[in-house]
Structure formats: structure tokens, C-alpha cells
Amino acid sequence: MKIVVSTRPSRLTIFLLAILFIAQAQGRAQNQDIFAEVPVPVRARLVERLKLLIEYDRTQQWERMYDLLSDRFLQGETKEHLVNRVRYVDEKLGGDKLIEFTPQSITLLHEDSGWWLIRGCGKFRQRRVDTVVEAFLQNGEWYFSQIRQNIPIDGDPKPCSKKP
């Protein structure tokens, strides 16, 4: 009985590797195209300011975060009040601190007001859950709501549907 050992990959192996490569490439392309629906002239600025918002929230630089928040979200709340409120929730009520936010999609909610919803996966102290932040284009600049867990009516945040 003669046993032949080949060092050349089989057609099946090559096919499976090709499928894996294509899937990874598509995943990268989808992540890069998250903001494709945002008009090109304001897209880079949206991404830049969103990164700042995430960093300021993550590092608890709430004074700096305030300047990125929309008037619609703040509704007249002063910087001092916002900082005190967020600090109180974090320290006294054990707020769920944002560690990471990975955007996964963006949807235009209202064209005339420049109102967008960014959904993604938020990593908090306790878990990874579906997370949202609203973005508003006001006078050519982007402003936001706070990044928050997307809590449905039934009361429990849902785990992220996709791995970031």
C-alpha cells in the first residue's frame, strides 16, 4: 500500500481560504462605509467630532464634552449643571461608564433639521449593548446628544447584534 502526502493545498482549502478572505474584506468595507450616506463636505467633520465625543465621555471630560452637545439635547442646561448631574449619576448612582463605542450604522431621521441617529455597540463597565447617539448638523457644525444605551420599552438593553 502506497501513501501519498501532498504539500500542495487542496482545491477545497483554496476555496475556503478565498471565501474567508472575501468575507473579511467585505466586513472592513462595510465598517468604512458606515458614514457613506452623510454628505461628503460634512462627513469628515462628523467623524472627527464623534471621536472627540466618545473620548471625552470615556475619560469623563464632561466640561469639554458639553461643547459638543446640541442645544436640542441640552435644552438650556448649563455646563455646570450638566457636569454636576453626570458626575452625580456616575459617582452616587453607579452609572454605567462608557469604555468604548463602535458605530455600526447611521440613519437620517429628519433632513430639514439635519438630524441623524448613529447606532452601534457600546462597551460599558458591565456589558456590551446596543447604543445610540444623535447627531445634529447645526449651522455647518455637528453637535450630539450624549452616548447612551438603547433601552427599549421592556426595560433591558439588548446585547450588541454585531461584534465591533
Instruction: For strands 98-110 and 128-138, give the pairing.
Output: unpaired
- Which structural domains are found in the chain, ordered by start? 11-149 (3.10.450.100)
For the stretch 133-160, pLDDT in tens is 999 999 899 999 999 999 888 878 888 8
Residue 11: pLDDT above 60?
A: no
148 CB neighbour count, 10 Å cutoff: 15
At 29, the pLDDT band (50, 70, 90 cuts) reads: very low
CA angle, 64 then 65 then 67, to 5°: 75
Q: What global pTM score does this model have? A: 0.76
Higher pLDDT, 151 or 109: 109
Confidence of residue 14 (pLDDT cuts 50, 70, 90): very low
C-alpha cell belonging to residue 134 = 444623535
Distance CA 111, CA 123 (A): 30
3-state secondary structure of 142: strand
Percent of the chain with pLDDT strictly greater than 90: 56
Q: How many Cβ atoms sit within 10 Å of the Cβ of residue 138? A: 13
